[in-house]
Amino acid sequence: MMIAMGRYLIKRIFISILTLLVIVLIMFILMNAMPGSPFTGKHLKADQLLVLNQKYGLDRPLLERYFRYLSCMIRGDFGVSYNIQKNMSITRMLQVRLPLTIRIGLQAMVLGTILGLLLGILSALKHGTFLDPLVSALSMLGSSIPSFVFALGLMYFIAYKAGFLPLLYTMDAPGESTILPSIALAMFPMASIARLTRSEMISVLSSDYILLARSKGVPESGIIFRHALRNALVPVLTIMAPMLVELITGSMVVENIFAVPGLGTLFVTAVQSNDYNVSITIMFLYSAFYISAMLIVDILYGYVDPRIRLAKGRS
């Protein structure tokens, strides 16, 4: 079984790399098709532009540029920025921004998952009391209100009115500055996980094997944590991957609102100013996050549900 799992992993990683190559190609084609160029100063004359294009290799055919870029990427060189921070290497540009975005995203994911599971389990156990409709209403709001509305609400009430946390990102308090953006981003995962966990727990708790466990005399805590939760988690894991997409797109908006100097903010600027290398690199990173997260969810899935693990081993 371990061998089958290893072979499966190798196959998945190979497909992931191919996917990433295609994504970079699509980015090349799209950026090329966009009107304008990275060099748009009014004072630039035609011959100066020619020199600039030659200098950065932008006069070469698209495919040649693509393969040249790929060969640099393998060596860890993502090129330089054309106009945001002129001639600065992108690897250096991302040194501060990448950890910041990852930190906010992870905090949001962890917060959303823990709160979502707690609320879901609680409302399933208190099924039929006032708590249950309360959690249902909360998760409805959480999944239907977009993250930027939460962001603005948090800014107004917590940062501005109560003065608890920084309104905008500040270098003086980098840790505290990530809290509000994380909370804003956590709302959606929290709401979806709470809703699904609740309905799954309710259906699992009324299943025959829970009755069997009760007939064995398993105490209520054992019923919930040893028997019910694991079975209820299987479907919850399936929605984790699509939720990551929401986190990524949500982070672009939320980072901009809180003026967080992260990937999201940079990506928006880069696309607007035709800074090809920066946009391609960030898109590449986003895709790599997403693909590896999917892979992790997939492996976890097999770990939680033995039926899936074995079916995979056979194929």
Partner 1 sequence: MKDKNALEIHDLEISFETSRGTAQIIRRVSLEAERGKTLAIVGESGSGKSVTVKSIMALLPDQARIEGGEIWLQGRPGEEEPINLTSLSKEQVMKTVNGRRISMVFQDPLSVLNPTMKVGKQIMEGMLLHGDLNRKEAKERAIHLLDDVGIRDSRLCMDQYPHQLSGGMRQRAAIAIALSGGADILILDEPTTALDVTVQKKILDLLQRLQKEHSLTAILITHDLGVVAKMADTVSVMYAGQIVESGTSRDIFFHPAHPYTWGLLSSIPDSGTKHLLSIPGNPPDLSRPIKGDAFAPRNAYALKEDFASEPPLIPLSGTHSVKSRLYQDGKRPDLPKELKEKIERIQKEASHGR
Tell me which residues touch partner 1 (CB under 8 A): 128, 206-209, 211-220, 222, 226-227, 230-231, 234, 304-307, 310
Closer CB to partner 1, residue 60 or residue 230?
A: 230
Give CA–CA dist 167/170, Å, rounded: 9
Residue closer to partner 1 (CB basis): 50 or 311: 311
Rank residues 174 and 222 by Cβ distance to partner 1 and give the closer one: 222
Alpha carbon distance 246, 263 (integer Å): 15
CA atoms within 13 Å, Cβ hemisphere of 89:
8
Distance in Å, CB of 137 to partner 1, minimum: 23
Closest separation between CB of residue 120 and partner 1, Å?
18
Question: In this complex, which beta carbon is closest to partner 1, that of residue 45 or of residue 314?
Answer: 314
Is residue 89 helix, strand or coil? strand
Between residues 161 and 314, which has the closer beta carbon with respect to partner 1?
A: 314
Long-range contacts, stretch 250-256, CB < 8 angstroms, 24+ apart: 250/146, 250/147, 250/184, 250/185, 250/188, 251/101, 251/104, 251/105, 251/181, 251/185, 253/146, 253/147, 253/148, 253/151, 254/104, 254/147, 254/148, 254/151, 254/181, 254/184, 254/185, 255/101, 255/104, 255/181
Which residue lies nearer to partner 1 by CB, 183 or 229?
A: 229
How far apart are CB 89 and partner 1 at their closest, in Å? 49
CB of 158 to partner 1, least distance (A): 40
Residue nearer to partner 1 on the CB measure, 111 or 117: 117
Q: Which tokens go with 120?
A: 């879901």
CB atoms within 10 A of CB 282: 27
Contact criterion met (CB below 8 Å) for 223 and 145: no
Smallest distance, partner 1 to C-beta of residue 165, A: 41
CB of 172 to partner 1, least distance (A): 48
For the CB of residue 202, give the shortest distance to partner 1 in the complex, in Å. 12
Q: How far apart are CA 27 and CA 65, in angstroms?
A: 12
Measured in degrees and rounded to the nearest 5, phi and psi for residue 40 equal -125, 15
